[in-house]
């Protein structure tokens, strides 16, 4: 999931308004907002690495939203 979110952040960083509109129209922005609002673990693995991975996965939607909206979600 994390690589996909990083790719979305790169796409969302495109300054062209059509890119931001496409992310909104495709339902990406509402999905990321819902992901950010969830109060549960997003990592599906256990172990010590799961904590750092979960923190990275939870931070990534906010980064994509910041790029997509130009404001930070």
Q: Give 17-69 pLDDT, tens digit per residue.
A: 888 888 888 888 888 888 888 877 766 677 778 888 888 888 888 888 888 77
What local confidence, expressed as pLDDT, does residue 71 receive? 61
DSSP 36: H
Please name which of 62, 57, 67 lies closest in space to residue 12, comparing C-alpha atoms: 67
What local confidence, expressed as pLDDT, does residue 49 receive? 81
Our count of domains for the chain comes to 1
What local confidence, expressed as pLDDT, does residue 43 receive? 66
Q: Give the span between the Cα atoms of 39 and 55, in whole angstroms.
A: 12
Domain span at residue 64 reads 2-69
């Amino acid at each position: 999931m994390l690589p996909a979110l990083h790719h979305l952040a790169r796409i969302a960083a495109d300054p062209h308004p059509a890119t931001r509109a496409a992310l909104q129209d495709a339902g990406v922005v509402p999905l990321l907002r819902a992901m950010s609002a969830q109060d549960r673990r997003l990592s599906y693995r256990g172990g010590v690495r799961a904590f750092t991975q979960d923190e990275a996965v939870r931070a990534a939607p906010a980064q994509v939203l910041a790029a997509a909206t130009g404001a930070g979600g």
